[in-house]
């Protein structure tokens, strides 16, 4: 059914399939064909690392646990498997509270496990197997973990694997901060694993991430759960299990994943010992039909290998925990997803974002984040390292809305606009959020930004004139080149907006003309209200007034007083020199043409400055 066309006529080699890929052997040949035709560029190495966790080594209902014979079989099979899976060792997770809670024979099984402690690898579960997200704070989690550690020390169980697993994946993803803290404190955990990031099927789409120095590896399912204990009673019939092993889901999990961590349970090794049955048959099948080299590594080595193979997975991508029922179930009840922004003001810097911010918070239904002491008023979560602090950190900036439907939370961080990461991260956490950007002539923006740097005493900005900054060549000093990049790049408007449009539909994006915001803010604010769909209309023409002293529109307070933005907004500085203006006009020409095309595509009017710039370009 598979033919290799050598491509003698047209020079294009092909592998032709006479059938679809439903038969497992065809899938295998297809994988080989891709590797062959791409000269091994689209191929994995033949090494496959497998780790089998037995998550609940003492947790199990009386009558369903391992007795002495089962434990002996576990030891014997482990030895047997080593012939096919180099270094194969079962990795046992323990919750000490349940030690010796079976029948007499099962308790003897527990004893044999502990007499054979050196034969296995060990890792801690929770002492009482309670889900970590049910503990509010780190200290109560620490208490539980200390009990389990005491148990380990009393029974000679090694405590230094650096690996731990949370019952039911709770606390790992979505992240429950106290779990990570307690793990570090008590067990010095550096590695864990979960099926929940993201909660996806098929298993091969699961990913890993690193958070608070803990490497989180994805886990695969092997079809064995606490309740699957008898061969004949396997859900859907025993054939289901056999076909998963023989060319089905389990087989392809191993074929397609260089590293697979499987979760099994105590009950899978008592009763019909389906755990042993599964892995012995899987190893046989893999060996019969492939050249894969199966091996097992301790979790710490496995984790390093994982992120060596998938370095792009190191950074997490947070999602809204309330969008997935399984995630909601392992997310503390007292936490709410209402404390996430419904819209973002993304910048760019120096276009009037603070004025927009001031006007927005005047609206009774629009609420902003509380200020960050570190980044001035802005949270700067999606673009910078704050992202690695996790979503609890982010949500703590927002109030709990009194009415989650009508109140609109928002956040303005003006450096989101040109950030490579921000659109993807924002779309992952708040996919329905509306996005507001403000554009002014990029030349004016660059000049205002330069003045901003000077007033913040940036040494390079103080040393070099604006013209020197914008016109610096490749041989200019590095600090000057760096300043130039930060000054000019945000003005590549079309490229940055296109990046946002990769992740957000155009209807969720509002582009404000910054010049109009400056001269006619009430009209702009009407458009903004329409765009946001706020329930109560706020009359900005009554609430704003032009302050001739400030030279800008400000909030009108009682008795005719005004609340304007501080000195740092609407600064006094000399106008831009004609040389700089001409240089920038030419520098931004192509970017502006692209912007005009983009606005045309979006059905948006061109701002006056853009029309002028385009005329110059003709
Ligand atoms: N109403 C009102 N009051 C004060 N300033 C106003 C207003 N409307 C627009 N602008 C213009 O906003 C410019 C500052 O932009 P940002 O607030 O986006 O700057 S920042 O990125 O947050 O630092 C600021 O730039 P500079 O004039 O260079 O200081 C102003 O020109």
Does residue 351 line the site of ligand 1, with CB under 6 A?
A: yes
pLDDT surpasses 90 at 525: yes
**Ligand 1 centroid distance, CA of 462 (Å):** 21
Q: Provide the CA 130 distance to its chain's centre, in angstroms.
A: 26
In a domain, 592, yes or no: no
**616 marked as part of a ligand binding site:** no
**Ligand 1 centroid distance, CA of 570 (Å):** 5
**95 marked as part of a ligand binding site:** no
Q: Where are the alpha helices (DSSP H) in 156-201?
A: 177-187
Answer whether 214's CB lies under 8 Å from 306's CB: no
**Collapsing DSSP states into helix, strand and coil, what is residue 83?**
coil
Q: At 130, which helix (H) or strand (E)?
A: none
Residues 275 and 386 in one domain: no
**Ligand 1 centroid distance, CA of 352 (Å):** 4
**Ligand 1 centroid distance, CA of 88 (Å):** 64
**Nearest-CA neighbor of 305 among 254, 243, 257?**
257
Does residue 515 line the site of ligand 1, with CB under 6 A?
A: no
Q: Which DSSP symbol is given to 86?
A: B
Residues 340 and 308 in one domain: no
In a domain, 560, yes or no: yes
pLDDT surpasses 70 at 376: no
**Ligand 1 centroid distance, CA of 341 (Å):** 23
Can you tell me the distance from the alpha carbon of 550 to that of 513, in angstroms, rounded to the nearest whole number?
Answer: 21
How many structural domains does the chain have? 3
**572 marked as part of a ligand binding site:** yes
**448 marked as part of a ligand binding site:** yes
Residues 84 and 14 in one domain: no
* pLDDT digit string, tens, across residues 62-90: 999 999 999 999 999 999 999 999 999 99
Query: From start to end of 454-572, where are the E strands?
Result: 509-513, 544-547, 552-556, 562-563
In a domain, 595, yes or no: no
* Domain at 209, CATH number: 3.20.20.370
Residues 369 and 225 in one domain: no
Reported confidence tier of residue 205, pLDDT bands at 50, 70, 90: confident
Reported confidence tier of residue 584, pLDDT bands at 50, 70, 90: very high
Residues 206 and 75 in one domain: yes
Nearest CA, atom 9, ligand 1: 352
Ligand 1 atom closest to Cα of residue 352: 12
Tokens of 488: 């000019």
* pLDDT digit string, tens, across residues 439-492: 999 999 999 999 999 999 999 999 999 999 999 999 999 999 999 999 999 999
Does residue 418 line the site of ligand 1, with CB under 6 A?
A: no
Q: In the predicted model, what is the mean pLDDT of residues 231-255?
A: 96
Q: What pairs with residue 513 in β-bridges?
A: 439
Mean pLDDT, rounded, of the chain: 95
Q: Is the pTM of this model over 0.90?
A: yes
Residues 352 and 488 in one domain: yes
Tokens of 532: 């946001």
pLDDT surpasses 70 at 265: yes
From residue 47, alpha-carbon distances to 25, 42, 111, 246, 263 in Å are 20, 15, 36, 19, 20
Q: Check residue 617 and give its pLDDT.
A: 74
More confident residue, 19 or 179: 179
Tokens of 192: 């864990």
Residues 1 and 59 in one domain: no
Residues 211 and 357 in one domain: no
**425 marked as part of a ligand binding site:** no
Can you tell me the distance from the alpha carbon of 446 to that of 507, in angstroms, rounded to the nearest whole number?
Answer: 28
Tokens of 418: 């040109």
Q: Check residue 616 and give its pLDDT.
A: 86
Nearest CA, atom 17, ligand 1: 354
Reported confidence tier of residue 375, pLDDT bands at 50, 70, 90: low
Does residue 448 line the site of ligand 1, with CB under 6 A?
A: yes
Answer whether 224's CB lies under 8 Å from 274's CB: yes
In a domain, 618, yes or no: no
In a domain, 600, yes or no: no
In a domain, 141, yes or no: yes
Best mutation site among 347, 351, 353, 354 for ligand 1 pocket (most ligand atoms within 8 Å of CB): 354
Does residue 571 line the site of ligand 1, with CB under 6 A?
A: yes
**Nearest-CA neighbor of 399 among 433, 429, 369?**
369
Tell me whether the omega of the peptide bond preceding residue 132 falls within 30 degrees of 0, making it cis. Answer: no
Number of alpha carbons in the 13 Å side-chain half-sphere of residue 178: 18
Can you tell me the distance from the alpha carbon of 292 to that of 405, in angstroms, rounded to the nearest whole number?
Answer: 54
Residues 104 and 28 in one domain: no
Can you tell me the distance from the alpha carbon of 308 to that of 217, in angstroms, rounded to the nearest whole number?
Answer: 12
Ligand 1 atom closest to Cα of residue 449: 28
Phi and psi, residue 300, nearest 5°: -65, -45
Answer whether 345's CB lies under 8 Å from 436's CB: yes
* Domain at 367, CATH number: 3.40.50.300
Residues 6 or more apart from 12 whose CB is under 8 A from it?
A: none
Nearest CA, atom 14, ligand 1: 350
350 an active-site residue? yes
In a domain, 589, yes or no: no
In a domain, 598, yes or no: no
Nearest CA, atom 31, ligand 1: 570
Q: Check residue 397 and give its pLDDT.
A: 94
Q: Where are the alpha helices (DSSP H) in 135-215?
A: 138-154, 177-187
Can you tell me the distance from the alpha carbon of 362 to that of 345, in angstroms, rounded to the nearest whole number?
Answer: 15
pLDDT surpasses 80 at 529: yes
Query: Above 0.85 for ipTM, yes or no?
Result: yes
Range of the domain at 10: 1-43
Active-site hit among 97, 350, 412, 434: 350
Cβ-in-10-Å burial (0-12, 13-18, 19+) of 3 comes to exposed
What are the DSSP calls for 411-477, one per residue? EE-TTSTT-SSHHHHHHHH-TT-EEEEEE--HHHHHHHHHHHHHHTT-HHHHHS-HHHHHH--TTS-
* pLDDT digit string, tens, across residues 272-327: 999 999 999 999 999 999 999 999 999 999 999 999 999 999 999 999 999 999 99
**570 marked as part of a ligand binding site:** yes
Best mutation site among 570, 571, 575, 609 for ligand 1 pocket (most ligand atoms within 8 Å of CB): 570
Q: What is the dihedral of CA 399, 400, 403, 408, to 10 degrees?
A: 40
Residues 485 and 541 in one domain: yes
Q: Check residue 36 and give its pLDDT.
A: 94
* pLDDT digit string, tens, across residues 89-139: 999 999 999 999 999 999 999 999 999 999 999 999 999 999 999 998 999
Can you tell me the distance from the alpha carbon of 601 to that of 588, in angstroms, rounded to the nearest whole number?
Answer: 20
**Ligand 1 centroid distance, CA of 414 (Å):** 11
Residues 60 and 37 in one domain: no
* pLDDT digit string, tens, across residues 392-425: 999 999 999 999 889 999 999 999 999 999 999 9
Q: In the predicted model, what is the mean pLDDT of residues 577-591?
A: 98
Backbone region of residue 570 per phi and psi (left: phi > 0; alpha: psi in -120 to 50; beta: other values): left
Can you tell me the distance from the alpha carbon of 598 to that of 510, in angstroms, rounded to the nearest whole number?
Answer: 13
Residues 219 and 202 in one domain: yes
């Amino acid at each position: 059914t598979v033919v290799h066309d050598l491509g003698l006529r047209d020079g294009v080699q092909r592998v032709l399939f006479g059938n679809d890929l439903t038969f497992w052997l065809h899938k295998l040949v297809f994988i080989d064909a891709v590797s062959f035709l791409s000269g091994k560029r689209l191929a994995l190495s033949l090494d496959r690392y497998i780790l089998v966790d037995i998550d609940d080594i003492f947790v199990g209902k009386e009558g369903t646990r391992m007795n002495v014979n089962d434990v002996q079989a576990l030891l014997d099979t482990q030895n047997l498997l080593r012939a096919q899976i180099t270094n194969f060792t079962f990795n046992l997770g323990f919750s000490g509270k349940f030690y010796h809670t079976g029948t007499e024979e099962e308790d003897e099984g527990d004893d044999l496990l502990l007499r054979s402690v050196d034969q296995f690898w060990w890792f801690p579960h929770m002492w009482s197997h309670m889900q970590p997200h049910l503990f509010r704070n780190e200290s109560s989690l620490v208490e539980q973990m200390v009990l389990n550690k005491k148990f380990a020390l009393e029974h000679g169980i090694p405590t230094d694997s650096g690996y731990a697993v949370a019952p039911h994946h709770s606390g790992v993803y979505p992240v429950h901060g106290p779990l990570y803290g307690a793990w570090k404190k008590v067990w010095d955990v550096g590695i864990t694993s979960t099926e929940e990031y993201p909660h996806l099927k098929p298993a091969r789409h699961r990913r890993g991430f690193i958070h608070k120095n803990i490497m989180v590896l994805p886990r695969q399912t092997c079809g064995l759960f606490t309740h699957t204990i008898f061969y004949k009673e396997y859900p859907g019939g025993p054939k289901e299990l056999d076909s998963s092993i023989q060319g089905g889901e389990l087989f392809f999990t191993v074929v397609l994943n260089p590293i697979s961590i499987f979760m099994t349970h105590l009950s899978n090794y008592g009763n019909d010992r389906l755990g042993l049955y599964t892995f012995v048959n899987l190893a046989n099948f893999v060996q019969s039909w492939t050249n894969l080299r199966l091996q097992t590594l301790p979790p710490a080595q496995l984790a390093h290998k994982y992120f060596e193979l998938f370095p792009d997975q190191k950074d997490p991508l947070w999602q809204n925990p309330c969008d997935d029922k399984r995630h909601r179930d392992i997310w503390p009840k007292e936490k709410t997803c209402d404390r996430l922004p419904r819209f973002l003001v993304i910048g760019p810097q120096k276009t009037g974002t603070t004025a927009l911010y001031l006007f927005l918070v005047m609206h009774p239904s629009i609420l902003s984040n509380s200020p960050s002491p570190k980044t001035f008023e802005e949270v700067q979560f999606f673009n910078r390292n704050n992202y690695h602090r996790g979503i609890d950190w982010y949500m703590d900036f927002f109030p709990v809305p009194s009415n989650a439907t009508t109140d609109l939370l928002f956040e303005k961080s003006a450096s989101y606009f040109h950030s490579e990461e921000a659109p993807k991260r924002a779309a992952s956490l708040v996919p329905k959020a509306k996005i507001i950007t403000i554009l002014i002539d990029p030349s004016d923006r660059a000049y205002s930004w330069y003045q901003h740097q000077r007033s913040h005493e940036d040494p390079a900005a103080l040393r070099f004139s604006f013209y020197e900054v914008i016109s610096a060549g490749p041989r200019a000093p590095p600090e000057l080149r760096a300043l130039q990049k930060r000054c000019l790049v945000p003005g590549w408007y079309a490229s940055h907006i296109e990046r946002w449009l990769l992740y957000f539909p155009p209807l969720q994006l509002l582009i404000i003309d910054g010049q109009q915001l400056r001269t006619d803010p009430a009209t702009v604010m009407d458009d903004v209200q329409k765009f946001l769909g706020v329930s109560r209309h706020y009359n900005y023409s009554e609430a704003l007034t032009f302050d001739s002293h400030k030279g800008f529109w400000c909030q009108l307070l009682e008795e005719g007083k005004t609340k304007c933005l501080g000195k740092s907004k609407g600064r006094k500085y000399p106008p831009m020199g004609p040389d700089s203006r001409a240089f920038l006009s030419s520098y931004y020409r192509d970017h502006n043409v692209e912007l005009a095309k983009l606005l045309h595509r979006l059905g948006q009017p061109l701002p006056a400055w853009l029309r002028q710039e385009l005329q110059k370009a003709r």
